[in-house]
Structure 1
């Protein structure tokens, strides 16, 4: 029997958490007399599928990720292929079958997909205000931990998983009558599936978490009372006292450097990677703050994959240029600086930025200017986390207004 991590529902954006992704495709950049809606099925293995309801318009694929809309346009050079925005992946379909390719993973990483045209009813689940929560333990030999937050409407459910340094972004799925919990997400970078048994005592058992076709681990969950936090605080990056300075390669290929001692205004340094969805969420918040603070500058310090390959540096610069374009960073002119700073490694990031004693996670954010110690923030809780995201927004807003309390 196939495990389908799916719910065939339409969802509206939530301040707490939700994902709805739509994807579809046809060969030759245009369908012929077919139902425009359907399901894109990703096959993670012989028995596990992620099924994403979708729609397409003309020769453009529309992915609705909660309150985000991802527009996949046909490739100019590859037919029939659609480009995944921001994360630089590809969706290829020929006669309704094909693959999703994550170009940022080593080798040729492809996940088989299949498009099934079908009519979908537009419904809005009646979500209650109640949020269920579980403390999760993943793996056995070297366990790691998370906290699942979930809302229900009938058999449909939506939620997210928090970790000490960020979240799994939007998840959606179902709780079936037999007690099977299934959650899934596809945001262009993450392809996740979760399945577990929900017991009469509220516990989650016999769980498996799949990430694409390359990773799977077991998990179980213990139910928590409302308002309970199961996660321990993560280690924080701290200022070493050294000058805040970086050097790297600008998008035009020229070497560049910057030192905070020369700053006349507040500057935000965002340690990130174009492969990181949580970094994308943080950049969207930074863009909002840039609009509110006309003298604020942001420096995107990118640590990218594939730099050790032949031509890797130029490919990374090209990818960052596309990232900048997708995110609309050019509207800020010379106030937003995108710099290739090193390879995608927390250890290498700390070595490149010795004013930090460590880099705990991507993203890590530093606010400097106006004297005093820099404000340092590790990780990011995105909009899928609802109240936790609201707290992040408040922290960042305070930081660019002069606060120096690190998290």
Structure 2
């Protein structure tokens, strides 16, 4: 009897081990279900030696690494822990079926249905018919805000090749990252998923070349929008939104890192140096994009006499809640400079830095000269998905640092 039980358990263990490492290297067409509409993106799944999986989300040209995935029973878990987010799906042959889950107050809840089919990745149509429409160019876009009667302004940058479409929308506080999709007939469709945001655009292309439609975001967000061709469309200067109040030239703060060490600009480490303050948050994808730029830049340029300090504005003011998220971000991106818990990302954010008129958005980058004076405050970040705008940011960033170092 004991031998029979042992044999049975061994067979069960083998079966479980087999099912938990049975996904081959593969690509998948994935989609979240937002009401009646699909929000598609791609997945690339690569098995690892330890029975875990390396997973990348594909948004057009973006290949975004998720955290290490794993099997639990018959379900694959694809986490993005920094965003308290998880794709959980039952594996059934060439199909994944499950949900996108978010952690809310310590409890995982399903927010949107999720499915994926192994094979070629495509967005809204596998073989879209040729179209006479072409939306390549720059647009002045207006999104109707659900909580107000006015509209928020953005600059749309679209690039169409055949029926394939890529682009983004730039706003005064950041961009919508990598959007990808198709032009089908007289309509356009674009989407993006990054573990935090889920965007879906569906719009009609009007005879005059303008665009009118809607944006679905996250679990329940919706905004109608209209976009007009405008080669001269520009955002307001990013240096005009946040500024020092009259009578102030410097910033004074003392915030803790996750180990409880208090860091201040008065510390010897920062005396006589150019300092860049990165107002950020572990919940913010645009902040992640800026951090991907900042980390290698700092490693290359710190010896020139430059320091960076990350001021983290989190959802909770409690270190036991926000500290692990900050540490996870630091580990994920290999951040070599201090990350401090400065406050919460709500209407009270400005109280942490009372010399500022407000914190208008994340990230916000503050440049401080060798004498401790604030020289420029830049709201938002044009990430790599914005093309030439990202290149222009890097050029302006380097020019300003060089100028401050030469003084």
- TM-score by length of structure 1 reads 0.79
Residue pair 2:28, 2:116 contacting (<8 A) in 1 also = yes
In structure 1, what is the Cα distance between the partners aligned to 2:257 and 2:72?
27
- Alignment correspondent of 2:26: 36
Other structure's SS at 1:102 match:
strand
Residue pair 2:254, 2:262 contacting (<8 A) in 1 also = yes
- TM-score by length of structure 2 reads 0.79
In structure 1, what is the Cα distance between the partners aligned to 2:159 and 2:144?
25
2:94 counterpart of 1:82: no
Residue pair 2:97, 2:114 contacting (<8 A) in 1 also = yes
Name the structure where helix makes up a greater proportion of residues.
2
The CA deviation at 1:355 is 2.5
2:229 counterpart of 1:223: yes
Cα-to-partner distance string for 1:138-174 (whole Å, 9 max, x where unaligned):
1172311112111111110100101123211111111
In structure 2, what is the Cα distance between the partners aligned to 1:105 and 1:386?
37
The CA deviation at 1:380 is 1.1
- Within-5 A mapping of 1:288-307: 288-295=296-303, 296-307=306-317
- Decide which of 127, 143, 148 is 2:151's aligned counterpart: 143
The CA deviation at 1:37 is 2.3
The structure with the largest alpha-carbon Rg is: 2
- Alignment correspondent of 2:255: 248
- TM-align CA RMSD: 2.9
In structure 2, what is the Cα distance between the partners aligned to 1:360 and 1:104?
25
- Decide which of 84, 90, 102 is 1:94's aligned counterpart: 90
The CA deviation at 1:260 is 4.5
Other structure's SS at 1:314 match:
helix
In structure 1, what is the Cα distance between the partners aligned to 2:25 and 2:54?
15
Unmatched segments (≥5 aa) in structure 1: 1-26, 124-129
Residue pair 1:237, 1:356 contacting (<8 A) in 2 also = yes
- Decide which of 190, 197, 212 is 2:218's aligned counterpart: 212
- Alignment correspondent of 2:54: 60
Distance 1:166 1:398, change over 3 A: same
In structure 2, what is the Cα distance between the partners aligned to 1:134 and 1:369?
37
The CA deviation at 1:350 is 1.4
Other structure's SS at 1:400 match:
helix
- Within-5 A mapping of 1:266-345: 266-295=274-303, 296-307=306-317, 313-329=319-335, 332=336, 336-345=337-346
Higher RCO (CA-CA < 8 Å; seq separation 6+): 1
- Alignment correspondent of 1:351: 351
Other structure's SS at 1:43 match:
strand
- Alignment correspondent of 1:23: none
The CA deviation at 1:77 is 8.6
Other structure's SS at 1:245 match:
coil
Aligned length: 355
2:210 counterpart of 1:203: yes
In structure 2, what is the Cα distance between the partners aligned to 1:75 and 1:355?
47
In structure 1, what is the Cα distance between the partners aligned to 2:56 and 2:44?
6
In structure 2, what is the Cα distance between the partners aligned to 1:323 and 1:29?
28
Other structure's SS at 2:103 match:
coil
The CA deviation at 1:135 is 1.4
Deviates more, 1:349-358 or 1:151-160: 349-358
Distance 1:183 1:105, change over 3 A: farther
Residue pair 2:242, 2:356 contacting (<8 A) in 1 also = yes
The CA deviation at 1:261 is 7.5
Cα-to-partner distance string for 1:292-327 (whole Å, 9 max, x where unaligned):
3123221111111144xxxx5312111111111111
Residue pair 1:88, 1:319 contacting (<8 A) in 2 also = no
- Alignment correspondent of 1:3: none
The CA deviation at 1:204 is 1.2
In structure 2, what is the Cα distance between the partners aligned to 1:368 and 1:214?
40
The CA deviation at 1:100 is 1.6
In structure 2, what is the Cα distance between the partners aligned to 1:93 and 1:189?
18
The CA deviation at 1:196 is 0.5
2:182 counterpart of 1:168: no
Name the structure where strand makes up a greater proportion of residues.
2
In structure 2, what is the Cα distance between the partners aligned to 1:322 and 1:247?
22
2:232 counterpart of 1:237: no
The CA deviation at 1:181 is 0.6
The CA deviation at 1:255 is 4.8
